[in-house]
Amino acid sequence: MKHYKDPITNEIYAYESDGSQDAIIKKGLVDVTDVEIAAIHAAKVQAFQDSLTYADLRAAAYPPIGDQLDALFRAGVFPPEMAAQLQAVKDAHPKSA
């Protein structure tokens, strides 16, 4: 693969090294090395991680809501009519062994 980047946006583009895609290479792109690609990728990953808020990190740390609700169901904390509805779904669609 041949790699190029847009010098303004730092977007990376990859094209076949056999020349079959040379006609579609955007004008203004510059050659980029594997080291530069890794640095651009690392910077984007870091920027994403830096953008995560406390709420994002906290939400991602919780178990899936389905697991939370199942734990509550198993603990018997739902009102009887809700427990009956949930049990009906579990009975109609049992887990595979």
Residue 6: burial class (beta carbons within 10 Å; 0-12, 13-18, 19+):
middle
Q: Name the CA radius of gyration of the chain, rounded.
A: 25
Give pLDDT, residue 96: 80
Q: How many residues appear in the chain?
A: 97
Give pLDDT, residue 3: 95
Dig out the tokens for 86 from the structure.
């949930």
Its pTM surpasses 0.75: no
Cα dihedral: 10, 11, 14, 15 (round 10): -90
Question: What are the boundaries of each domain within the chain?
Answer: 2-60, 63-92
Give pLDDT, residue 95: 86
Contact indicator for 3, 30 with CB cutoff of 8 Å = no
- Read off the amino acid at residue 48: F
Summarised one tens digit per residue, pLDDT across range 2-52 is 999 999 998 999 999 999 999 999 999 999 999 999 999 999 999 999 999
Give pLDDT, residue 97: 60
